[in-house]
Structure 1
Amino acid sequence: MRYLALPLMLFVLPALPALAMPQFYNTIDGSPLNFDDAMEEGRDTPAVEEFLATGVNIYNENPDVLAKAEEVYNTMCSGCHGHYGEGKIGPGLNDSYWTYPQNETDVGLFSTLYGGATGQMGPMWGSLTLDEMLLSMAWVRHLYTGDPKDAVWLTKEQRETFKPFEPKKK
């Protein structure tokens, strides 16, 4: 029996990191997403590389990118989802209710952005770079108005310091 353990460990252990890699599926039909259609620009940023390997969006609550994240969101998303993610012709994005429950995770939200959803939410792979998708997601997460303990996309440390979004007074 112990002679079988070594060959088994040689094949199984190297495959374990691959099992941890996130899997991306179309929100509507469940088919695997193909990133070959994504724009060349914005594919090789550290944020995209980290995200595709781990499912962690390093832009979430990163003060160095929030201004750019807001700009991308306001340009591409606010027309349908509102400037504060409150919802317009598209659903609200700033609370704990998700039309597609997988959007509670960053892998799920990215999959919806990349591959589209029902209604007027078409795939964004032709309109946004992969990096811009992560930036817009970071702004959506920043707009969250709910209880931080429910914000599963935040790290434990971020959850402890997160303040629910409040629009600026005019």
Structure 2
Amino acid sequence: MRRLFVKTLAGAAFIVVASAAAQAQQPFNSVITGETLNLDDAGPDGKDTEAFKTFVETGKNIYLGNKDCLAKGEELFLSMCSGCHGHVGEGKLGPGLNDTHWTYPQGKTDKGLFEIIYGGASGMMGPMYGSMNVDEMLMTMAWVRHLYKDKPEDAGEWLTADLQKDFKPYDGAKPPQPGPNAPESCKKGG
């Protein structure tokens, strides 16, 4: 009887914790249809990082302003995005990403930019969850934000007051390389 009680109690605790975790995750929606995006479509890679866990709970990308992760973000952007969006986000076949104009206004927030990358948009911008893991998407987003060249006050919600303190419009300089304490996921080629 006691074992049954302990198992029942453990099961109930698991349900409460799982339910709380599910409630903590904000919904992500398609910028085209508004339907909820299924984050399980991306598979497990990248979901165990502090950055992704923080992002799904808060919508805050902790890679923004993290100099250790810029080089990896640049590497990902150049291999996955620059063909359409230009080497510095100036736009080519796809829209520019380094200014205040967003084809989808959701791009002014990190949550919205993630929704565009993850779920795709109209035209040639297909969903990227099959090509990049979710953590790589966050690093790429940090690089895109690093490329911003306009006035800080016009940037949108992503450029918080804390980030504005150190903000300098993109000048074309190479990003710093990851330091010795950089997260493993932020190291180039890894």
Q: TM-score range by the shorter chain?
A: 0.7 to 0.9
Distance in 2 (CA, whole Å) between partners of 1:24 and 1:96 is 22
What RMSD over aligned residues (CA atoms) do the two structures have, in Å? 2.0
Using the size of structure 1 for normalisation, the TM-score is: 0.85
2-side partners of 1:20 and 1:49: how far apart? 10
Check the 8 A contact 1:148/1:160 in 2, yes or no.
no
What are the Cα deviations for residues 133-167 of structure 1, in whole angstroms up to 9, with x where unaligned?
00110000000011112232122121122001122
The aligned amino acid for 2:141 is M
Are 1:95 and 1:144, in contact at CA under 8 Å, matched by a contact in 2? yes
Change (3 A) 1:142 1:41: same
CA apart distance, 1:20? 7.1
How far did residue 22 of structure 1 move?
3.1
Change in 2 beyond 3 A, CA 1:154/1:17: farther
Sequence identity percentage: 57
Determine the structure 1 residue equivalent to 2:120.
116
Match for residue 83 of structure 2 among 68, 79, 85:
79
Query: Which amino acid in 2 is paired with 1:38?
Result: A
- Per the alignment, residue 29 of structure 2 pairs with 25
1:142 aligns with 2:146: yes
The CA distance in 2 between the partners of 1:103 and 1:54, in whole Å, is: 16
TM-score under structure 2 normalisation?
0.76
Query: Distance in 2 between the 1:128 and 1:42 partners?
Result: 9
Among 140, 159, 165, the residue aligned to 1:160:
165
Name the aligned partner's letter for residue 49 of structure 2: T
* Stretches of 4+ aligned residues off by more than 4 angstroms: 15-21
Contact 1:110 1:133 in 2 (8 A): yes
Shift of 1:36: 1.1
Q: How does 1:1-170 map to 2 (within 5 A)?
A: 21-151=25-155, 152-168=157-173
Aligned length: 155
Deviation of residue 168 (structure 1)? Answer: 4.2
Question: In 1, Cα distance between the equivalents of 2:26 and 2:109?
Answer: 11
Secondary structure at 2:128's aligned position in 1? coil
Contact map agreement 1:22 1:53 (CA 8 A) in 2: yes
1:102-147 per-residue CA deviation (whole Å, 9 max, x = no partner) reads 1100000000100000111000010000000001100000000111
Structure 2 residue aligned with 1:12: none
Structure 2 gap segments, 5+ residues each: 1-18, 175-190
Q: How many angstroms does 1:88 deviate by?
A: 0.4
Give 5+ residue unaligned stretches, structure 1: 1-14
Q: Is contact 1:22–1:52 with CA below 8 Å preserved after alignment?
A: yes
Residues in 1 aligned to 2:22 and 2:39: alpha-carbon distance in whole angstroms: 17
Q: C-alpha displacement at 1:93, in angstroms?
A: 0.2
